[in-house]
Every structure is written in structure tokens, then in C-alpha cells.
Chains A and B, each alone.
Chain A
Amino acid sequence: MNKPDLSVSLSGVRLSNPVIPASGCFGYGYGMSEFYDIDILGSISFKGTTREPRFGNPLPRVAECPAGMINSVGLQNPGIDAVIAEELPKMREAFHNPIIANISGFSVDEYVECCEKIDREEQVAIIELNVSCPNVHGGGMSFGTSCDSVAEVVREVKKVASKPLYVKLTPNVTDIASVAIAARDAGADGFCAINTMLGMRVDIRRRRPVIANVMGGFSGPAIFPVAVRMVYQVAKATGLPVIGCGGVDSAAAVIEMMMAGASAVEIGAANLRDPYVCRDIIEELPAKMRELHIDRLSDIIGIVE
């Protein structure tokens, strides 16, 4: 029997396997080298990076849920210039595969400036646009919740970026397919679906929200069925590659996400519970593929009707 083929391709970027730690759950990668050799990962989506350095939101920033967690970190990062000057060189020492650059912004100008800078970095293979940030010039509503604002930011970034541009879609919309179509028509090359779902917990003893910022992003296995559904909808509606993200924590979940339409898979919250989860999934995948009679993982992408 042939060795199972785990390789996948995203807009011509070949990955040795589809397993990618999601932005915000793996830093800039190198810190995780104390757990295992991170070169086994297909790619890494690095910590959401903005133009200016940000400390982020007040603490507490995390609330636990029965099958997941809510976070409100607030895009803490050292800013694009420090990321390029200090974080990427450290990342390059520990990780030699294609990098996905997760870029955030609070205005179209900010997205454009950050993407223009990160586009020049050789190891960055894909730019992942986080459009869940509030648009400070557009009334504070998240870029990702309106077809027009998503289209505008994609159109402007495409003018300066040569690398494939993937839009990380927010699930907090009425119709994710229409947002995805608007992004595709503005020039997006693919998607990452989904970002976190807006959630909230209340500390019933103290009679106040658990998280200082009141609401936050809900992630973990609880959102997996929502993510599978949205990956399916976005892949079918746009015909573009989709990186599936949301509640994946096993080889079986990777395969399910890919059958629903994902070309690769990001793993987020599960890393925070178990830093070895991505390594373990990569090790489990061949046996799970044999069990399901899958020779090449790329054969099952979007196989469900």
C-alpha cells in the first residue's frame, strides 16, 4: 500500500500537510519549538499584526466554556515593523515552510500599509486578512460584516500585494456566502473560515462579565459544526480555496472539514489546551486516511455534494 499523501496546495503554495496553527494561538511559532520540531507543520498563521504596536485589552481576557473558550486579547502585537525586524527572523530560524501572515487593521490605509510591507518578506506565502476588526472610519462596525467594506479593503490591498490574499471571514454575519462572493469579486484568492463567534459569560457571584471587555471571541469544539457548515457554504459559493478553521482538534475533524470543502485546516484553541495537538494530528492522519481508504488527502476536498 502506498504511503498516504498528506500534501495540499493553496493557490499554488504547496504544503506538506494541511495542518496549520491558527493566528493568535501559536505566537510567531518559535516559542512553540520548546515542545516539538515545528517544521513538521504545513504552515503557521502568525499572530494578528497591526501597523502600530498594541498592548490589547484589559484583563481578564479569557472565559472558559463547556466545550471551548472566549477570548478578548485585543490584537496584542508588537506592530508590523517590529514583527518584520524582530519576530520573523526568529520565526525563520525555527520554521522553514511557507508562512501565512495574518494582518489586521482599523482602516483601509492600515491594511494596505501592513500588507505592502509583509508582501516583501520572502517566506510569507499567503496574506490572511483578518476583517473582524472594527472599522474606525466606518462607524466602528467590523469590516467583515459588510459586503461593501470587505470588497473595498480587498480591492485596495490587491493593488499592493503580489502574494495570494485570503480573507479570514467572521461568522458573525447573516449570510457568510454573500460576504465571501463580494470578497472574491474584489480579487480575493481564497478564504479562511471561520474566525471566532461573538460570545459572553457572566460571573454570577460577582454579577459582572467574566471578561473585562464584556464580550469576546468564542472558539473551541463547540463551534466546529458551525465552521463545517460555513466552510461548505463558502467553498460552494465561491469556488475558491478555503482554509477551514473552528474547533478542529483531531485527524477525523481535519478530514471532515476537508470533505466539507476545506483545502487546508487551521487549528486554534486546541493548541492552548494541548500544545502538542498539531503534532499529534499530523501523526494520526495517515492511519485515519488508511481507515477511510483515502490515498491522497487532496482527493477529498469538497467531496460532499
Chain B
Amino acid sequence: MNPDCRDMPPACFPTVQSKSDMNRKEIFSVISNRRLTARTMLLKVAGATGAITAPGQFVNIAVEGKYLRRPISLFDYDDDSITLLYDIVGDGTEWLATRRPGDPLDILTGLGNGFQPAPESRRPLLLGGGVGIAPMFALARRLRAEGKDITVVMGYNTAADVAAEKLFADEGFSTYVATVDGSRGTKGFVTDAIDANGLDGDYFYACGPLPMMRALCSALDLPGQLSLDQRMACGFGACMCCSLQTRSGDKRICKDGPIFFKEDLIWK
């Protein structure tokens, strides 16, 4: 800002941003980058978040030494920060895990469609497999603000992997856990925890590995929305690397998704 303008009334600043130059790329600054389990991290970064419109959207982070960015779901966000829950799965996320407070990160924000409103739902189930629980946090906060009665169920392989239970429980969400080996919560999958605890809902939101999503779609006789993942290049709909055939035509997971309605998905 020109220092000579400091004392001028706000009216002399343009209030409408140019329609076409939407800044979706920002240099964020790391606030914290905390290890939750051996492979799961919680990263909070500071920066402009104006391009974000809904929970379920994702960001695309440039990582050192890699040509392509790393797409990661929004765990939470507010006016000037973003929080991401991510697993260390390769060199890129390994590097990300070494970022310290104050380090810069080049991030594209506001990508993907985000979860869609479902006004008919009163008692939604929010279901996550592994790090797939990530987009459910901001969603849970939004749905609670809308007055919905929320139940969160997360599935992991084993107790040592359970990364997000405390984050949800601390916020006061009704939270259930399943582990494949039974070392914590219900033994089995998310669907087993739903049955074992007699959980009842009228709608579901899910994110996790494809076999889990497929099982949920057949096991739950409820309408729902699912967050899909696929190897992406751009993350904003330009390259057609993450295409998906749906009942409503060919879609790009990164741009037309990652959130899809259950009835649009074709399980082969």
C-alpha cells in the first residue's frame, strides 16, 4: 500500500476485486506442523483464504524437489488460516512434515466443488477411513452451525493409527472409532461401528479408500455424498488426468468433484 494513502478514507480504495484476477495462489506461513501418529500430521498455515467456498474443497501445495503439487483436503479453515490433516506417504509429504513455524508454503486454494447443501438431512453420519476423516472436520462444524445432529465415525487399521479422534471429541462431536484389528473401538470397519453402536442417521458423508466407499454405498440405505481421490496433475480441471465416468456424464474429480452424490457413482 502507498503510505501516502494511509489517512485517506476507505472509500478511495477499490472495493471490488477485478473479476478475472482471482488470486488462488498464496504464499502461506506455517503456524504449526504437529505429529499426531507415526504417519499423520496436522499442519496449520496462515494466509488469505478468500477463494475457499465450502468444506470438502482441497488445496494443492508445492513441495520442494517435486514437479507437481500435492492435493490435500481442507481439515479446517477460517478467514486467515487453513488446517490440513495429512499422511506421510512419500517424498513430497515427507518434506512437508519437516516444515517449521514461519516457513513459507506455496499453496493453491479453493479447489474442487466442496460438499453440497443437503437441507433434507437432519441427522447426518460423517464417516472417514484413515486420513479420509480430514474433510469431515470443517463439514461437522458447518453442519452443527446449521443445527444438525451430527455423528462422526472413523475407521483405522490399528489403535496406533487413530489420529483424529481427539480432535473431534475435543470439539464436542459425538465420535466413534473402528479398528480392523479391534485394538481400539469396534473391531472391524466403519459399518461395524455403526451397527455395534446402533447409530442412526438420515444422510451420510464419506471419505476414505475406494473399497470402504463402495461398501458404504451398498451397506447404507441412505442418500449421501462421497469425497473421491485420484492421482491428479493440475487439481483445477485443465489436464483431464483424474476423469471419472458417472451417471451424469464424464467428470473431473478435481474440478467437478471431489464431492459426488452417491446416486451419481457407478461401481464397476
Which residue of B20, B67, B69, B243 contacts A56 across the interface (Cβ within 8 Å)?
B243
For A303, the chain B residues whose CB sits under 8 A away are none
Q: Separation in Å of the A133 CB from the closest CB of chain B?
A: 16
Chain A proximity mask over B119-132: 1 for CB below 8 Å, otherwise 0: 00000000000000
State the Cβ distance, B149 to closest chain A Cβ, in Å.
36
Asked whether A37 lies within 8 Å of B241 as measured between CB atoms, the reply is no
- Cα(A62)–Cα(B243), bound, Å: 11
Segment with Cβ contacts to A, from B76-84, B134-142, B160-168, B229-237: B229-237
Q: Which of A20-28, A102-110, A167-175 contacts B (4 or more CB under 8 A)?
A: A20-28
A142 within 8 A of B: no
| Bound complex: CA A268 to CA B239 (Å) | 10
Nearest CB of B to A239, in Å: 34
- A59: chain B residues at CB < 8 Å are 230-231, 241-243
Q: Report if A67-B67 is in contact (Cβ < 8 Å); known contacts: A59-B243, A275-B24.
A: yes
Given A31-B237, A56-B240, A62-B241, A37 and B22 touching (CB < 8 A)? no
Once the chains bind, are A64 and B239 in contact (CB under 8 Å)? no
Residue of A at shortest CB range from B91? A64
Task: Note all chain A residues with C-beta closer than 8 A to B239.
Answer: 24-25, 62, 71, 73, 272
A80 to chain B, nearest CB (A): 16
- Once A55-B245, A59-B231, A64-B67 are accepted as A-B contacts, the answer to whether A36 and B20 lie under 8 Å apart by CB is yes
Minimum distance in angstroms from B255 CB to a CB of chain A: 7
Which residue of chain A is the closest to B90 with respect to CB atoms? A64
Measured in the bound complex, the distance between the Cα atoms of B25 and A273 in whole Å is 11
- B238 at the A interface (CB under 8 A): yes
Q: Is the CB of B238 within 8 A of A26?
A: yes
Contact, CB under 8 Å: A272 / B20: no
Mask of B23-39 contacts with A, CB within 8 angstroms, 1/0: 01100000000000000
Which of chain A's residues have a CB closer than 8 A to the CB of B212?
Answer: none
Q: Which of A24, A35, A47, A56 has the most CB of B within 10 A?
A: A35
Assess the B237–A62 pair: CB atoms within 8 A.
no
Q: Which of B230, B238, B255 contacts A25 (CB 8 A)?
A: B238
- A73, B241: Cβ atoms closer than 8 Å: yes
Q: Inside 8 A of A92's CB, which chain B residues have their CB?
A: none
- A62 proximity list for chain B (CB < 8 A): 68, 231-233, 239, 241
The answer to whether A55 and B250 have CB atoms under 8 Å apart is yes
Q: Are A71 and B241 in contact (CB under 8 A)?
A: yes
Q: Tell me which of A33, A76, A271, A274 contacts B240 (CB under 8 A).
A: A76
Q: Is the CB of B68 within 8 A of A37?
A: no
Contact call A275/B233, Cβ cutoff below 8 A: no
A10-55 with Cβ < 8 A to chain B? 24-27, 31-38, 47, 55
**Given A65-B67, A275-B236, CB of A33 within 8 Å of CB of B231:** no
How many angstroms between the C-alpha atoms of A101 and B27 in the bound complex? 35
Given contacts A25-B239, A73-B240, A220-B67, whether A35 and B232 have CB atoms under 8 Å apart is no
6 A-B pairs with CB atoms under 8 Å apart are A31-B238, A34-B24, A59-B242, A62-B231, A64-B66, A69-B233
Question: Closest 8 CB pairs between A and B?
Answer: A37-B20, A272-B234, A60-B231, A62-B241, A61-B241, A62-B233, A76-B240, A272-B233
